[in-house]
Structure 1
Amino acid sequence: MHLRSWLLVAITVGVGFGQISCDNRKQGEASKEVASEKMPKITFAEKGIYDFGTLIEGDTVDHVFTFTNTGEFPLIINNITASCGCTTPEWPRQPVAPGEKSSVRVRFNSRGKMGQQNKTITIFANTEPAMTDLQFKAMVNPKPDSAKKS
């Protein structure tokens, strides 16, 4: 009988701890959702793919992508990579406060490029998701040949 009493106590304690840990798990998930909603958010003014239009091979063009931090914590851009060495991004190195606007400047050098160009710039920041893509396109026509004379 003494063994049964200890067994009953052990089962009761085990079920109690199980309930508490289950409750902690639910609280953790709820906290994660609340924190995720408050994370920095990078919201760009423009949607879709920016079109530089038609360029002549060798032209260099740039565009400023304006964004707002629509989250509740400072936005920090850690890095930006481009899909090609012909594209150079510039971004704010300081944190962007909640509600503040800033921008990413993208410069595209069409030297050595021909035809339709589709490029992607990937922003790595303390946002959820951690990566955000910007895209642009351009049609690059060949330079007129200055050696030909009519």
Structure 2
Amino acid sequence: MYLKNWLFVLAVAAVSFGQISCDNRKQGESAKATASGKMPKITFEEKGIYDFGTLTEGDTVEHTFKFVNTGEFPLIINNITASCGCTTPEWPREPIAPGQTSSIRVRFNSRGKSGEQNKTVTIFANTDPSMTDLQFKALVNPKADSTQKS
């Protein structure tokens, strides 16, 4: 009889522990969803692909992409990479507070380029998702004395 009581207590304890584990998992998932909703968010004023229009080979142009941190925590841009060496991004190195506006300047050098150019700048930040792409395009006409094509 003593053994049956002991097994019963052990079974109840195991079921209770399992319930607590499930509750902890649910609480963890709930906390993650709540935190994800508050993560920094980079929201750009412009949508879509920025068009520099028609350029002559060798022209250097730049555009400033303005954004707002629409999250609830400071936004930190860790790095920005460009799809080609002809593109140079400049970004704020300090955290951007919630609600604060800032910008990323992108410079495109069309030297050695011709035809339709489609470029991507990838932003790595403490956002969800952690990568955000900016895209631009340009139509590069060759110089009158240029015989090179790329």
Pairs within 5 Å for 1:130-149: 130-145=130-145
Normalization by structure 1: what TM-score?
A: 0.95
- Give the whole-Å Cα distance in 1 for the aligned partners of 2:132 and 2:89: 14
> Following the alignment from structure 1 to structure 2, what is the Cα–Cα distance between the partners of residues 114 and 50?
18
Q: Matched residues in 1 for 2:84 and 2:145: separation? A: 26
Q: Which amino acid in structure 2 is aligned with residue 14 of structure 1? A: A
Matched, 1:102 2:92: no
Q: How many angstroms does 1:5 deviate by?
A: 1.5
Deviation at 1:6, TM superposition (A): 1.4
1:40 partner letter: P
Percent identity over paired residues = 77
Amino acid at match of 1:74: P
- Segments of structure 2 that go 5 or more residues without pairing to the other structure are none
Give the number of aligned pairs.
146
Aligned Cα RMSD in Å? 0.9
Deviation track 1:43-82 (CA, whole Å, cap 9, x = no partner) reads 0000000000000000000000000000000000000000
Moved over 6 A (4+): none
Residues of 2 paired with 1:53 and 1:7: CA distance? 79
Q: Secondary structure at the match of 1:122?
A: strand
Unaligned runs of 5+ in 1: none
**Under a length normalisation based on structure 2, what TM-score does the superposition of the two structures give?**
0.95
**Distance across 2 between alignment mates of 1:127 and 1:104:** 16
